[in-house]
Structure 1
Amino acid sequence: MTEKSTNRWLVLLSGILINLCIGSAYAWSVYQKPLIAMFKWSTKETSLAFTLSCVLVPLAMIVAGKIQDQKGPKMVIFGGGIIFGLGIIGAGFTNSLSFLYMTYGVLGGIGIGTVYACTVANTVKFFPDKRGLASGLVVAGFGSGAVVLAPLSSALIESYGVLATFKILGVAYLVLISACTTLVKTAPPGYRPAGWTPPPPTATTITGTDKNWREMLSDPMFYVLWSIYLIGCVSGLMIIGHASPIGQEVIKLSPATAAMCVGFLALANTAGRIFWGWVSDKIGRYNAVKIMFILAGLMMFTLTQVTTFVPFVIVLMAIGLCFGGVMGIFPSITADAFGAKNLGMNYGIIFTAWGAAGIVGPLMAGHFKEINKGDYTQAFLIAAGLSVIGVMLTFILQYNKKKADALKAA
Structure 2
Amino acid sequence: MTTVVPSHQEITDSNGRVYRIGESPRDIMGRPRWLMVLLPWIGMMGISVSEYAFGSAEETLHDAHGWSSTNIFWLLSVWVFFQAAVAFPAGYLRETGRLSARAAMMLGAGGAFLGYLALSHAPSIFWAYLGFGLFGGGGAGLVYATCINMVAKWFPERRGGKTGFVNGGFAYGSVPFVFIFTTYMHTENYQSVLDLVGVYVLVAVLVSGLFFKDPPKNWWPAHVDPLRGQVSSRSLRKNPPAVRQYTPREAVRTGMLPLMWVCLLFTAGVNIFGIAFQVPFGKEMGFAGGIVALAMSLKAIVNGTGRGVIGWISDLAGRRQTLTIVCVILGLAQFAVLWSGSIHNMPLFLLSSMVSGFGGGAIFPLFAAMTADYFGENNNATNYGLVYSSKLVSGLLGSGMGAVVVGAWGYGGAFVIAGGTSLLAGALSLILRQPGRPRSATAAPVPSGATLTPASEQASG
TM-score, normalising length: structure 1: 0.92
- The reply to whether residue 11 of structure 1 matches residue 36 of structure 2 is yes
In structure 1, the residue matched to 2:271 is 236
Letter of the structure 1 residue corresponding to residue 193 of structure 2: T
In structure 2, the residue matched to 1:73 is 101
- The reply to whether residue 95 of structure 1 matches residue 137 of structure 2 is no
Partner residue of 1:56 out of 75, 82, 99: 82
Query: What SS is found at the alignment partner of 1:92?
Result: helix
In structure 1, the residue matched to 2:375 is 338
Deviations 1:94-118 (A, max 9, x none): 2211111111111111001111111
Bigger drift between 127-136 and 71-80 goes to 71-80
CA contact (8 A) 2:26 2:32 kept: yes
Partner residue of 1:220 out of 255, 270, 279: 255
In structure 1, the residue matched to 2:7 is none
CA contact (8 A) 1:156 1:162 kept: no
- The reply to whether residue 258 of structure 1 matches residue 292 of structure 2 is yes
CA contact (8 A) 1:146 1:262 kept: no
Give the Cα separation in 2 of the matches to 1:37 and 1:117.
Answer: 34
CA contact (8 A) 2:64 2:187 kept: no
- Larger radius of gyration between Structure 1 and Structure 2: 2
Deviations 1:53-101 (A, max 9, x none): 1111122121222222224301111111111112212221022111111
Bigger drift between 360-369 and 97-106 goes to 360-369
Give the Cα separation in 1 of the matches to 2:335 and 2:411.
Answer: 11
In structure 2, the residue matched to 1:269 is 303
1:85-234 map, 5 Å:
85-158=113-186, 160-198=188-226, 199-200=229-230, 202=237, 207-234=242-269
Give the Cα separation in 1 of the matches to 2:91 and 2:188.
Answer: 37
RMSD: 2.3
CA contact (8 A) 1:4 1:194 kept: no
Q: 1:62 to 1:402 in 2, by over 3 A?
A: closer
1:307-346 map, 5 Å:
307-346=344-383
Give the Cα separation in 2 of the matches to 1:391 and 1:253.
Answer: 34
Partner residue of 2:313 out of 248, 269, 279: 279
Percent identity (aligned): 24
Give the Cα separation in 1 of the matches to 2:212 and 2:255.
Answer: 35
- The reply to whether residue 29 of structure 1 matches residue 55 of structure 2 is yes
Give the Cα separation in 1 of the matches to 2:405 and 2:433.
Answer: 35
In structure 2, the residue matched to 1:297 is 331
Q: 1:405 to 1:249 in 2, by over 3 A?
A: same
Bigger drift between 359-368 and 274-283 goes to 359-368
Letter of the structure 2 residue corresponding to residue 293 of structure 1: C
CA contact (8 A) 1:2 1:194 kept: yes
Give the Cα separation in 2 of the matches to 1:78 and 1:38.
Answer: 31
Equivalent residues, number: 405
Give the Cα separation in 2 of the matches to 1:387 and 1:259.
Answer: 25
Query: What SS is found at the alignment partner of 1:397?
Result: coil
Q: 1:401 Cα shift?
A: 8.1
Q: 1:263 Cα shift?
A: 1.2
In structure 1, the residue matched to 2:72 is 46
Give the Cα separation in 1 of the matches to 2:188 and 2:65.
Answer: 16
In structure 1, the residue matched to 2:457 is none
Letter of the structure 2 residue corresponding to residue 311 of structure 1: L
In structure 2, the residue matched to 1:2 is 24
Deviations 1:300-345 (A, max 9, x none): 1122211232211111110110111101211111101111101111
Q: 1:368 Cα shift?
A: 2.5
CA contact (8 A) 1:31 1:162 kept: no
When you count helix as a share of all residues, which structure comes out higher? 1
Q: 1:361 to 1:52 in 2, by over 3 A?
A: same
Q: 1:40 Cα shift?
A: 3.7
Letter of the structure 1 residue corresponding to residue 364 of structure 2: M
Letter of the structure 1 residue corresponding to residue 42 of structure 2: L
Q: 1:22 Cα shift?
A: 0.6
Give the Cα separation in 2 of the matches to 1:398 and 1:342.
Answer: 19
Q: 1:39 Cα shift?
A: 3.5
Letter of the structure 2 residue corresponding to residue 126 of structure 1: W
Give the Cα separation in 2 of the matches to 1:49 and 1:121.
Answer: 27
CA contact (8 A) 1:83 1:108 kept: yes
CA contact (8 A) 2:254 2:435 kept: no
Unpaired runs of 5+ in structure 2? Answer: 1-22, 231-235, 446-461
Q: 1:354 Cα shift?
A: 2.2
Letter of the structure 1 residue corresponding to residue 82 of structure 2: L
Q: 1:371 Cα shift?
A: 2.2
